[in-house]
Each structure stands twice: as C-alpha cells, then as structure tokens.
Chain A
Amino acid sequence: QVQLQESGPALVKPSETLSLTCSVSGDSVSSYYWSWLRQPPGKGLEWIAYAHWSGSANYNPSLKSRISISVDTSRNQFSLSLSAVTTADTAKYYCARFDQYDTWGFFAFWSQGTLVTVSS
C-alpha cells in the first residue's frame, strides 16, 4: 500500500519560507507525478503543484512565483518550498500521488496532512 508522510515545521513566520518534505513508501517516486495540496481551516481544497522526477512540473498560477517543488529519487521523497508566506498560507498541507493521463488525472493516495500556521 502506498503511504506518504510529510515533515516540516508547524509554525512559520510571515515573510519566511515554508519548507515541507514528503516521504513515500510502498511506491517509487520515479513513477507517477507527486503533488502538494492544501486546505485552510474550514475551507476547500487547493492544488499547489505537481512534479515528475524527470523535472517536468506544473504549478498553481496563483502561487507559481513563490513555489519550488522537487523530487529526490535517492531518498524516495519530494519537497515543497513556498516563499514569502503570509497568514493566508495557514493551512493543512497534504502531499499526494498524482496519477496523470494526458489532460486528466487524480490524486490517488494522500498523506495525513500537516497543519502549518503562519504567525509571528
């Protein structure tokens, strides 16, 4: 069974960079695309970005200027960096496997999620 576990700080100060890592077990990050999503408390889901180990990636246009995503095949992990955070970036962050098929796809497996709060 595919399992994903994110790690990273629960508290980030405004204007700093939020960094999260997702460790994958039961699958290889050399397959599929790997993605980050978030959900502000009490609100809906927002897709952030997805990436392939080959370097192919796609980003939410509204966040693109602040996002970096990478896939590390040696550690079977992938990571997210979100710069210049504000309180609007407070959310539960999920990592997920994205099964992409040309112009469609779905998030097949999700992590448990980690709440990241942006506050001074």
Chain B
Amino acid sequence: QSVLTQPPSASGTPGQRVTISCSGSTSNIGMTTVTWYQQFPGSVPKLLIYANDLRPSGVPDRFSGSKSGTSASLAISGLQSDDEAVYFCSSWDGSLDGPVVFGGGTKLTVL
C-alpha cells in the first residue's frame, strides 16, 4: 500500500480537461508540498509539478497542480494523445513512513 492514495486509472478524450487526485494525511500533504511526476511506458519519470503548483521550464501550462488540506490534484487541460502516461504524486512525510513518499500512480488513457 502506498502512503499517498491515487486512483489507479483516469481517462479523457482529446481536448478535455482531466484531473487526478492524490490523497494524504496531516503528516505529509497536510504539512508540506506536493510533487508530480510523469512517466511514459518504458521511460524515466520526469518532474512535472513541484511545490504544489510550479512547473519546471519546458512543461506546458496545460499542466497545473493544486493542494487543499490533505489532498492535491493534477489538472491537464486540452488533453492530447501524448499525455497518455502514468502520473505519480509525491510528498514529504514526517511520520515513520517518510521522509519521501509516493502515490501508487494513475494511468491516464486518452480515448
């Protein structure tokens, strides 16, 4: 079981806006920031969002992150077929599980 909870799958059609949730607790998301990684099949995870809502250079502004309380969300607008990947959330954890914890990943399918 992962410390952070993500839905195993999500889907959308091209052009749509989809969101992926990440649920944690007061010992992780509730006390610090959330990071999102994107991983294409057979490829290396790539930093997508850090500090809840900041994008590294090169990441399109179609990707956005937010956090509220002990949950976070990744939103992808103007969905493209190239966005089909697995998305992982991550956070710092101040409990015995930490300090770095991940969600189990959400497989995004573009229909």
A26 to chain B, nearest CB (A): 16
B102 within 8 A of A: yes
Q: How large is the interface on A (under 10, 10 to 19, 20 to 34, 35 or more residues)?
A: 20 to 34
The A interface, classified by DSSP as helix, strand, loop or mixed, is: strand
Q: Which residues of chain A have C-beta atoms less than 8 A from B92's C-beta? A: 103-105
Give the interface size class of chain B. Answer: 20 to 34
Give the contacting residue for B45; candidates A58, A60, A98, A110; CB below 8 A. A110
Please tell me which stretch of A9-17, A45-53, A71-79 contacts chain B, meaning at least 4 of its Cβ atoms lie within 8 angstroms of it.
A45-53
Given contacts A44-B104, A107-B45, contact A61 B94 (CB under 8 A): no
CB-CB nearest in chain B for A47: B100
- Asked if B24 is an interface residue, CB under 8 A from chain A, the answer is no
Apart from A44-B103, A103-B94, list 6 A-B contacts with CB within 8 A.
Answer: A44-B102, A47-B101, A50-B100, A105-B100, A107-B90, A111-B44
Question: Which residues on B are within 8 Å of A, measured CB to CB?
Answer: 2, 31-33, 35, 37, 44-47, 50-51, 56, 88, 90-92, 94, 96-105
